């Protein structure tokens, strides 16, 4: 048995697929690459900080949503899904001033039916509403890498959360948790409302909006962004068990607060029609796992999962900490902001 297999199998077992209200289906993904690339915000160049990336093997510095479906493989269990999903990588600041890379274990991506289209006067979604699939070619970003403070009135900040997985409970915070965690689940919930026209925008977020009525994670879309799409929600898992000095965790952009956590999505589904049919074929507690669910045409890991998944274009030749401690965060990012005492936030409903 190849030596990497136990790791892959361990990663596969990781995502805890809980049922979330309005769930259509979940995509469980192994890590693809950890590198300084961000083809949405910094196309064609090395990006300022390191990202943990999952999904299609076409991921590289220069790519578009028209090239994403060309991936020959994906680290995700739904083989039609050649999308890429990424968040900043987590590090641990050591007593000697060097940094350990915190093992990125894999992710679950939820596609949810949680928002409904704008209609004049509508303030609550009708029963039996259906959102539409994220359009082919959509890219979007949620969160801001420069944030070091928290505003509880901002949906885009409420959409950034951390769950501390411990032996007997799993408290939820917007900041990095003020306690030691066996595993950390870094969560980003994307805006569910689209302007219906633009697949991207100069700030990579203004073509999207959070609901006007409801919450950051569901409700009625605003007139400016009238089209409700499936809500996209990431859970990225990190093995924080070796680091009981939790206050020394820091994201790759030099953020020890956690408020700068952000997520990037590039729609690379190779069968947009299957994605569009999910709302009609995958709903309900069992629906998401049924063979009739349109995105489940090949739900189990293919034989290719016995090989390591690697991006077609290799990562930049730089040490991001995969083989041992590094003297600085890649990109020489200084640590800015101090560890903020966390505030608890609402659990998702
Ligand atoms: C907090 O967010 C709300 C909603 O976006 C905004 O109206 C308000 O100005 C923000 N407050 C601060 C201090 O930035
Ligand atoms: C939404 O899709 C379901 C099938 O999953 C269907 O029964 C229902 O009629 C649809 N609702 C609307 C408002 O189109």
- Going by CA atoms, what residue is nearest to atom 11 of ligand 1? 151
Write the DSSP symbol of residue 69: G
Which pLDDT tens digit goes with each residue over 75-119? 998 989 999 999 999 999 999 999 999 999 999 999 999 999 999
Q: What is the pLDDT of residues 31-65, one digit of tens each?
A: 999 999 999 999 999 999 999 999 999 999 988 66
Confirm whether 331 is domain-assigned.
Answer: no
Q: Residue 195: inside a domain, yes or no?
A: yes
Q: Decide if 227 is inside a domain.
A: yes
Q: Which residue has the higher pLDDT, 199 or 312?
A: 199
Tell me whether residue 246 is in a domain.
yes
- The answer to whether 197 and 207 are in contact (CB under 8 A) is yes
What phi and psi, each to the nearest 5 degrees, are found at residue 289? -110, 0
Q: What is the mean pLDDT of residues 221-225?
A: 98
**pLDDT attached to residue 347:** 31
- Rounded to the nearest whole angstrom, what is the distance from the C-alpha of residue 210 to the centroid of ligand 1? 14
Specify the range with the lowest mean pLDDT, choosing from 17-21, 51-55, 199-203.
17-21
Residue 73, in any domain of the structure: yes
User: At 348, which helix (H) or strand (E)?
Assistant: none
- From the CB of 149, is ligand 1 less than 6 Å away? no
pLDDT classification of 308: cutoffs 50, 70, 90: low
Question: Mean pLDDT over residues 157-186, rounded?
Answer: 96
The verdict on the CB of residue 128 being under 6 Å from ligand 2 is: yes
154 lines ligand 1 (CB under 6 A): yes
Domain assignment present for residue 305? The answer is no
Q: Where are the beta strands (DSSP E) in the chain?
A: 23-29, 31-35, 51-55, 84-88, 90-93, 99-101, 104-112, 115-116, 139-142, 160-165, 172-173, 183-189, 193-194, 208-209, 213-215, 218-220, 227-228, 231-238, 249-251, 263-266
Name which residue sits closest to atom 5 of ligand 1, judged by CA.
Answer: 154
| Contact in structure between 33 and 85 (CB atoms under 8 Å) | no
Is the Cβ–Cβ distance between 52 and 34 less than 8 Å?
A: yes
Q: Are 101 and 91 in contact (CB under 8 A)?
A: yes
Task: Using the atom order of ligand 2, give the atom closest to the CA of residue 129.
Answer: 13
**Rg (the chain; Cα; Å):** 19
Domain, as residue range, for 219: 7-289
280 lines ligand 2 (CB under 6 A): yes
Name residue, tokens 């049919």. 277
Q: What is the mean pLDDT of the chain?
A: 88
- Enumerate the H helices of 39-177 as residue ranges: 155-158
pLDDT at 55: 96
Compute the half-sphere exposure of residue 27: CA atoms within 13 Å on the CB side of its CA.
29
**Residue 101 falls inside a structural domain:** yes
- 67 has pLDDT over 90: no
User: Atom 2 of ligand 2 has which residue's CA nearest to it?
Assistant: 280
CA–centroid distance, 283 to ligand 2, in Å, is 10
Atom of ligand 2 nearest to the CA of 130: 1
Residue 125 lies in a domain: yes
Q: Specify the number of domains making up the chain.
A: 1
User: Is 151 close to ligand 1, i.e. is its CB under 6 Å away?
Assistant: yes
């Amino acid at each position: 048995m190849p030596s990497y297999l136990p790791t892959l199998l361990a990663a596969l077992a990781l995502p805890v697929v809980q049922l979330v209200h309005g769930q259509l289906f979940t995509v469980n993904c192994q890590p693809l690459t950890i590198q300084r690339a961000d083809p949405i915000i910094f196309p064609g160049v090395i990006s300022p900080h390191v990202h943990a990336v999952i999904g299609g093997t076409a991921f590289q510095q220069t790519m578009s949503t028209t090239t994403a479906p060309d991936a020959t493989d994906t680290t995700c269990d739904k083989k039609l899904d050649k999308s890429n999903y990424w968040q900043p990588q987590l590090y641990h600041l050591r007593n000697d001033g060097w940094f350990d890379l915190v093992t990125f274990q894999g992710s679950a991506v939820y596609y949810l039916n949680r928002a409904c289209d704008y209609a004049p006067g509508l303030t609550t979604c009708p029963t039996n509403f259906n959102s539409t699939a994220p359009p082919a070619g959509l890219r979007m970003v949620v969160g801001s890498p420069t944030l070091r403070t928290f505003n509880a009135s901002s949906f885009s900040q409420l959409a950034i959360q951390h769950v501390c997985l411990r032996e007997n409970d799993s408290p939820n915070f917007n900041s990095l948790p003020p306690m030691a965690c066996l595993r950390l689940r870094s969560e980003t919930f994307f805006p569910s409302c689209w302007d219906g026209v633009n697949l991207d925008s100069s700030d990579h977020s203004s073509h999207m909006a959070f609901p006007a009525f409801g919450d950051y994670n569901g409700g009625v879309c605003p007139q400016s962004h009238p089209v409700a799409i499936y809500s996209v929600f990431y859970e990225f898992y990190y093995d924080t068990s070796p680091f009981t000095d939790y206050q020394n965790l820091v994201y790759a952009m030099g953020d020890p607060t956690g408020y700068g956590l952000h997520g990037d999505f590039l729609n690379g589904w190779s069968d947009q029609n299957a994605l569009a049919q999910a709302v009609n074929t995958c709903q309900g507690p069992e629906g998401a796992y049924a063979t009739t669910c349109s995105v489940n045409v090949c739900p189990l890991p293919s034989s290719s999962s016995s090989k390591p998944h690697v991006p077609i274009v290799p990562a930049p030749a730089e040490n991001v900490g995969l083989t041992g401690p590094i003297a600085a965060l890649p990109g020489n990012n200084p640590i800015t902001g101090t560890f903020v005492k966390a505030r608890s936030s609402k659990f998702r409903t």
